[in-house]
Amino acid sequence: MTVKRLLRGTGVFFTVAILIVITMSIGVQGVQQPSDARKNLRADILTIDALKAFGRLERPPVVFLHEKHSDAVEEQNKDCSVCHLKDKDRQSLKFKRLEDTSRRASMDIYHAECIGCHKETAAPQKSGPVTCGECHIDKRGISSSWHPIGMDKSLHYRHSKALDNKCEQCHHQYDARTKSLVYVKGKEATCRYCHGQVTEENRISMQLASHLACIDCHQSQLAQNKSAGPQKCSGCHEPREQKLIEVVKNVPRMQLNQPDVVFIKKRKGEATAPASAAAARMNAVPFNHKGHEEYNNSCRVCHHADLNACIQCHTPEGSQEGKQVKLEQAMHQLQAEQSCLGCHGINQQEPKCAGCHATIDRPRKKDEATCLTCHMTPVAQGDSADSTLKPDQKQQAARLLTSRQAVTGTYPDEDIPEKVKIKVLSNQFEPVDMPHRKIVHALVDNIKDNPMVRYFHGTPGTLCQGCHHNSPLTKKPPQCSTCHGKPFDPNYPLRPGLMGAYHQQCMECHSDMRLKKPLANDCEACHKKK
């Protein structure tokens, strides 16, 4: 699901943005202007508004271009210490101070240091403003190109390989007893599981944590003449730079004692699947955990709170830890990216799939066969007809998944008409010769390598349902006019007439699949005039 979020850099260390802020509240929102001039798009726009902590601002906040200043400092053979002090061997993100003591003290620091530096900068070097009205202004002719960045498994692999799998370099937990950070082997997880959007109690925000730890590491590596990740805002947060990040293909699987295949648990502490379908509302769902690791770039795609099983938070009855989202909802919510159906729905919006699924997935009644796609009927063990005997749940789950017949194609060519003449509505235009077999071949080529297709397309006729959406699975589905009347039937207000059905089905499919033609206003692309 998804855009690849990778960072440029020759180094192998965790690359995140150098958004070293001068303010107590770190602002990355740039002044939003029309982005017609690419040169005015920047990823280093900060907002100096630290005095908000002491009450209402008397003047507009200052728009600050961080990279412009860091480049100027670098040209003078100086480093970040010109503006940022050290706090316990780590660089403070505040400007010329470790903490905010008072409104007056903070304001005096900015005025004395910023204006003083600008006055001391001698020609021919270009200096900055020295009066209030030059800094405290409402708008600038620049726009922010800042784009979020995160770690994926390719970037993680580069770091773990460079650090010789010494996970303690990055991963830690807070020990409340010793009030210190400790490393616990086997409990490594993403930083975002602890560090949230804002600083609270003993946990600094994710933004602060990444800039403190990662930039400090990058700087220490460069000081030793070693390769490292970027230290400037654009190196991580400029979209053009992100596209240049090296991508490691075929990343080895991370070893976290995770299962290859497993039944999705329905109760806390449940070690096995239910003894029978009667013991639960539905059959247990076998889940290909290893396969999903390969399809996705991060564990957080599914494990958004921690690495435990979903049931730990999302109980059947709902719990505070799961924000009262019940297990059934967590698996079936179409609007949630982390749910099974929600994630699958996002994948179905890809152009190669959307042409069919935009029509198929319009609200309709789900039948038992649809549910059994995931809630599979248990497989009998050996000679026994009793499918409740499950000595090894992992083996049983794997057996269920391998019992599927992967279908990525459709019927043989001799069963697929080469052309279909649509003539029932021909009046002003000639009948349409639809290249039926060519369209079918194009759809098959689009999906042949899609792992979700191999799982959910259960029969050769599944692909036909994209156009023949309410027809039975058969080699010779009924004509569209069987359901769609000519003209529109007011007794069925949700069922378009035949002309509307043809144009909606064909033109919306072309639009969803982002095909260049035929265009909506180009009738003669399909119809030849009489």
Residues 511 and 417 in one domain: yes
What distance in Å separates the CA atoms of residue 198 and residue 205, rounded to the nearest whole number?
Answer: 5
Residues 187 and 216 in one domain: yes
Beta carbons of 400 and 310 less than 8 angstroms apart:
no
- 482-510 pLDDT tens trace: 889 888 888 888 889 998 898 888 888 99
- Under DSSP, is residue 365 helix (H, G, I), strand (E, B) or coil? coil
Using the predicted structure, report yes or no on whether residue 302 has a pLDDT greater than 50. Answer: yes
Residues 273 and 371 in one domain: yes
Residues 351 and 438 in one domain: no
Model confidence at 42, in pLDDT bands (50, 70, 90)?
A: very high
Distances (CA, A) of 89 to 5, 84, 217, 507: 30, 12, 12, 63
Average pLDDT, the chain: 82
Does any domain span residue 386?
Answer: no
Model confidence at 5, in pLDDT bands (50, 70, 90)?
A: very low
Residues 233 and 314 in one domain: no
Ramachandran assignment for 149, one of left (phi > 0), alpha (psi -120 to 50 degrees), beta (any other): beta
What distance in Å separates the CA atoms of residue 106 and residue 456, rounded to the nearest whole number?
Answer: 61
What distance in Å separates the CA atoms of residue 55 and residue 417, rounded to the nearest whole number?
Answer: 74
Q: What is the CATH number of the domain that holds 288?
A: 3.90.10.10
Residue 508 phi, psi dihedral angles, 5° rounding: -70, -35
Q: Which residues pair with 526 in a beta bridge?
A: none
Using the predicted structure, report yes or no on whether residue 253 has a pLDDT greater than 80. Answer: yes
Residues 85 and 138 in one domain: yes
Residues 507 and 434 in one domain: yes
What distance in Å separates the CA atoms of residue 454 and residue 456, rounded to the nearest whole number?
Answer: 6
Residues 138 and 158 in one domain: no
Residue 517's pLDDT is 73
- Under DSSP, is residue 381 helix (H, G, I), strand (E, B) or coil? coil
Final residue belonging to a domain, choices 242, 276, 305: 242
Residues 265 and 363 in one domain: yes
Does any domain span residue 165?
Answer: yes
Structural domain of 199: 153-242
- 279-300 pLDDT tens trace: 456 888 999 999 999 989 989 8
Q: How many CA atoms lie within 13 A of 488 on its CB side?
A: 10
What distance in Å separates the CA atoms of residue 487 and residue 431, rounded to the nearest whole number?
Answer: 18
β-pair type (41-42, 143-144):
parallel
Dump the DSSP string for 462-528: TGGGGTSTTS-S-SSPPPGGGTS-SS--TT-TTS--HHHHHHHHHHHHHHHTT---S-TT-GGGT--
The type of residue at 294 is E
CA torsion sign for 330, 336, 341, 347 is negative
* Residues 208, 212, 218, 224, Cα dihedral to 10°: 170
Residues 140 and 161 in one domain: no
- Under 8 Å CB-to-CB from 291, ≥6 apart: which residues? 451
Which ranges constitute the DSSP H helices of 136-238?
153-162, 206-223, 233-237
What distance in Å separates the CA atoms of residue 255 and residue 259, rounded to the nearest whole number?
Answer: 10
Helix (H) or strand (E) holding 16: none
Q: What is the pTM of this model?
A: 0.76
The count of structural domains within the chain is 4
Model confidence at 365, in pLDDT bands (50, 70, 90)?
A: low
Does any domain span residue 389?
Answer: no
Final residue belonging to a domain, choices 144, 178, 195: 144
* Residues 257, 258, 262, 266, Cα dihedral to 10°: 100
Does any domain span residue 224?
Answer: yes
Helix (H) or strand (E) holding 65: strand 62-65
Mean pLDDT, range 463-467, rounded to an integer: 90
Model confidence at 125, in pLDDT bands (50, 70, 90)?
A: confident
Q: Which residues pair with 62 in a beta bridge?
A: 48
- 61-103 pLDDT tens trace: 999 999 999 999 988 898 888 999 988 777 888 999 998 999 9
Mean pLDDT, range 290-318, rounded to an integer: 90
Residues 310 and 330 in one domain: yes
Q: Residues 119, 125, 127, CA angle at the centre, nearest 5°?
A: 40
Using the predicted structure, report yes or no on whether residue 524 has a pLDDT greater than 70. Answer: yes
- Under 8 Å CB-to-CB from 75, ≥6 apart: which residues? none
Does any domain span residue 4?
Answer: no
From first CA to last CA, the distance across the chain in angstroms is 47
Beta carbons of 13 and 229 less than 8 angstroms apart:
yes
Which has the closest alpha carbon to 398: 376, 372, 370, 373? Answer: 376
Does any domain span residue 424?
Answer: yes
Query: Token pair for residue 176?
Result: 């409340």
Distances (CA, A) of 514 to 61, 347, 351, 447, 505: 43, 15, 6, 16, 14
CA torsion sign for 69, 70, 72, 73 is positive
Residues 134 and 237 in one domain: no
- Under DSSP, is residue 422 helix (H, G, I), strand (E, B) or coil? strand
What distance in Å separates the CA atoms of residue 102 and residue 112, rounded to the nearest whole number?
Answer: 15
The type of residue at 19 is L
Does any domain span residue 252?
Answer: no
Does any domain span residue 456?
Answer: yes
Mean pLDDT, range 309-335, rounded to an integer: 91
Biggest alpha carbon–alpha carbon distance for the chain? 92
Weakest-pLDDT range from 17-21, 53-57, 295-299, 498-502: 17-21
Final residue belonging to a domain, choices 316, 351, 378: 378
Mean pLDDT, range 273-283, rounded to an integer: 54
Find how far residue 497's CA is from the centre of its chain.
39
What distance in Å separates the CA atoms of residue 349 and residue 355, rounded to the nearest whole number?
Answer: 9
